[in-house]
Structure 1
Amino acid sequence: MRPSRLVSMLLLLQVKGRVTAQALAEEFDVSVRTVYRDIDQLSAAGVPVYADRGPGGGFALLDGYRARLTGITKAEAETLSIAGLAGAATDLGLSEQLRAAQLKLVTALPDASPDASRIGSRLHIDPVGWYRRPAQVPHLTLLAGAVWDQKRIAMQYQSLASPNPGDGEPERIRDPLGLVLKGGDWYLVARARTQLRVYKVANIMHLAVLDETFERPAGFDLRAEWAGSVAAFEKSLLKNVARLRLSQEGMLRLSRLGAAAAEQAQSAPPDDDGWQEVTLPVEQFDYAAEQLLGFAGHVEVLDPPELRARLRRLAQHIATLNAG
């Protein structure tokens, strides 16, 4: 018998009012017989739960029975229900804990009712970008446990710089400090001796949690560390400067070069044809040319000549492949 299931069942009855045995069995992934045993346990513990027989019947709590939490409003509890994404909690192996916490928040309210959790039924957050599928992260739950318990890990990581892409890098020992979900992908912020590093969890090929624990850095702020890492990464990519001539449609596509580049863009007033000169940082010329190809006939590279030539060669190569 799981005490946590009994508590969650009690809270669910408090929120929904009356629930059938079949609905409870489906909610907690147990048999109907187990539900009846759980109800008997609640009754034996003094919880005033009763059964209504016949069509539309089910289990319900005696009117007026309620556990309450002081100092929190209904709006505050509903807002807390979206503080952690349900999908993220599932990835981390915490979906049951999240569900129980949300039930406790809602049922603790003085005016809790069957629609008290309306935010969850009216707002859904999908962090995965369009035309993508969630990345497979087989090591995430194990990694999350290491983060919570402050256990060192040994991992083999597949990076772009690996000399043998199929083999990954040699096994490294790391202190896992935090996990970040960005754009549908999970990232690990870890300490390598005295330096902090960021790893894409989907690229971890092998992971082992060691018995050795570690002390977290004093004053470590995951949110601030992540923001700094993102800013530094974007800045490291934008090593060149380009001067472009863009149509109005091209100006609308400027964000395709990345938010960091678009934010630093310096634009001249439109000319008589409505085109504008724009100076902005870009990535390596090979990649920048591929990005600009998506602008179709809405971009002209004015400078540097090397980028202009690469864009021209790329367009000619595509035209040749599709000729005839």
Structure 2
Amino acid sequence: MRGDRLMKIVLLLQSRGRMSTRELADELEVTTRTVSRDLEAIGQSGIPILAHRGRFGGWSLMEGYRSGLTGMTPDEAAALLLRASSGPLSDVGLGGHYETALQKLRAAYPEPERQGAEFLRRRLLIDESSWHTRSAATPEALALCQEAVWEERLLAFDYAKANPTASKDPNRLVEPLGLIVKRGVWYLAAQDRDTIKTFRVSNMLNIRLLEQSFAYPEDFDLAAYWQDSLRAFPDRLPHYEVSLVMTAEVLQAFREKRYIRVLRAEPIKNGQYEVEADLATPEFALRLVLGFGASIRVIEPSGFAEAVAAEAGKVREMYRGCPDS
């Protein structure tokens, strides 16, 4: 739209200083004739725009003119400009608007404060995206979830639990209340019968947006709900505490792995450590300990130590008859 383009010209001149007609045309992806007409319209609207002739000519705003931002400190502006990751917003179609808003913020702030924000931007990066690529099922499901939340319409889907061996819960019918993104993973908060629940969007299958609408609860606060969920989350997790002896390398790996809590670690002889850890479930603990081979030994519970030994024995028997390579 032309109004947006006119505003962008003003912001470009405000943030970059003098620019030629060609530079503006390239930035806006329009012809130089279009830029000339836009500059004329900007001048007629009362904005003090100056034409500079000669080899290094171009266009600029009158010195001292800028659209002001009041009530915001330089540090507050710098904090906003540093949060320049629009990845999650791009998922829901708002990335371009976010980048435009940042450009307006940069342009509207005085030169000293803008330089301070640029100093921080070049030395501090906040990357909130996930290391892992998104599931192929996420974009389609996310778009339908977003539409359902925006339009207050019922959503039907099958739900696959995080455990790949668990059966799917078919025919869920929920009232979608809000979308949350954490470390690049999208979640849907929704009213499921008498309870508000959180669903991972990538686990939502056969998703269908229904025509039937619902009344959005006026007392629902998405941020408060999410904070309550985060506080309650550790209490809902399974616990399985074990005592182990391990090398320093294994201890470091334990501290870096998800779903493992190192409760205590004390150095003992030969560079090893005696460790107490919460490994969530016996099944997970068994796979984990076997994966580290002879670098780790189970002390307690005794039943778990026997299970590890039995499984290791099965592996040994499986390879006993193999010919030498």
TM-score range, shorter chain: 0.7 to 0.9
State how 1:1-324 maps to structure 2 within 5 Å. Answer: 1-21=1-21, 23-25=23-25, 27-28=27-28, 30=30, 32-52=32-52, 57-83=57-83, 85-111=85-111, 115=115, 117-118=117-118, 119-130=120-131, 132-136=132-136, 137-139=138-140, 140-141=142-143, 143-144=145-146, 146-147=148-149, 149=150, 151-160=152-161, 170-205=170-205, 206-208=207-209, 210=211, 212-216=213-217, 218=219, 220-222=221-223, 224-230=224-230, 232-258=232-258, 261-262=261-262, 265-267=263-265, 269-302=266-299, 303=301, 304-309=304-309, 312=312, 316=316, 324=325
Q: In the alignment, is the contact (CA less than 8 A) between 1:135 and 1:202 conserved in 2? A: yes
Superposition CA RMSD, Å:
3.8
CA distance in 1, matches of 2:4, 2:323: 63
CA distance in 2, matches of 1:286, 1:165: 14
TM-score calculated relative to the size of structure 2: 0.77
Listed as ranges, the gaps of 5+ residues in structure 2 are none
Give how far 1:186 is off.
1.6
TM-score calculated relative to the size of structure 1: 0.77
CA distance in 2, matches of 1:317, 1:62: 85
CA distance in 1, matches of 2:58, 2:313: 72
Kindly provide the amino acid, as one letter, of the partner of residue 266 in structure 1: R
Query: Percentage identity across aligned positions?
Result: 29
Listed as ranges, the gaps of 5+ residues in structure 1 are none
1:120-161, CA deviations, whole angstroms, 9 ceiling, x for partnerless residues? 45443333444x3344432435534544x4613424244138
1:148-182, CA deviations, whole angstroms, 9 ceiling, x for partnerless residues? x461342424413899999x754543333332222
Q: In the alignment, is the contact (CA less than 8 A) between 1:25 and 1:31 conserved in 2? A: yes
Change (3 A) 1:200 1:77: same
Change (3 A) 1:204 1:318: farther
Give how far 1:271 is off.
2.6
Change (3 A) 1:309 1:25: farther
CA distance in 2, matches of 1:146, 1:237: 30
Task: Give SS of 1:138's match.
Answer: helix
**More displaced 10-residue stretch of structure 1: 10-19 or 42-51:** 42-51
Change (3 A) 1:75 1:53: same
Task: Give SS of 1:99's match.
Answer: helix
Q: In the alignment, is the contact (CA less than 8 A) between 1:15 and 1:107 conserved in 2? A: yes
> How many corresponding residue pairs?
317
CA distance in 1, matches of 2:9, 2:323: 63
Give how far 1:79 is off.
0.8
1:36-85, CA deviations, whole angstroms, 9 ceiling, x for partnerless residues? 44333323322223454666554322222211122112221121223463
Kindly provide the amino acid, as one letter, of the partner of residue 82 in structure 2: I
CA distance in 2, matches of 1:175, 1:317: 54
Q: In the alignment, is the contact (CA less than 8 A) between 1:25 and 1:32 conserved in 2? A: yes
Q: In the alignment, is the contact (CA less than 8 A) between 2:155 and 2:176 conserved in 1? A: no
CA distance in 1, matches of 2:210, 2:12: 36
Change (3 A) 1:122 1:280: closer
Give how far 1:100 is off.
2.8
**More displaced 10-residue stretch of structure 1: 213-222 or 66-75:** 213-222
Q: In the alignment, is the contact (CA less than 8 A) between 1:106 and 1:116 conserved in 2? A: no
CA distance in 2, matches of 1:121, 1:178: 34
Task: Give SS of 1:160's match.
Answer: coil
Change (3 A) 1:126 1:68: same
Change (3 A) 1:107 1:240: same
Change (3 A) 1:272 1:99: closer
CA distance in 2, matches of 1:272, 1:39: 78
Q: In the alignment, is the contact (CA less than 8 A) between 1:177 and 1:188 conserved in 2? A: yes
Q: In the alignment, is the contact (CA less than 8 A) between 2:157 and 2:173 conserved in 1? A: no
CA distance in 2, matches of 1:322, 1:66: 81
Q: In the alignment, is the contact (CA less than 8 A) between 1:9 and 1:24 conserved in 2? A: yes
4+ runs of 1 displaced by more than 6 Å? Answer: 161-166, 317-323
**More displaced 10-residue stretch of structure 1: 310-319 or 290-299:** 310-319
Q: In the alignment, is the contact (CA less than 8 A) between 1:238 and 1:281 conserved in 2? A: no
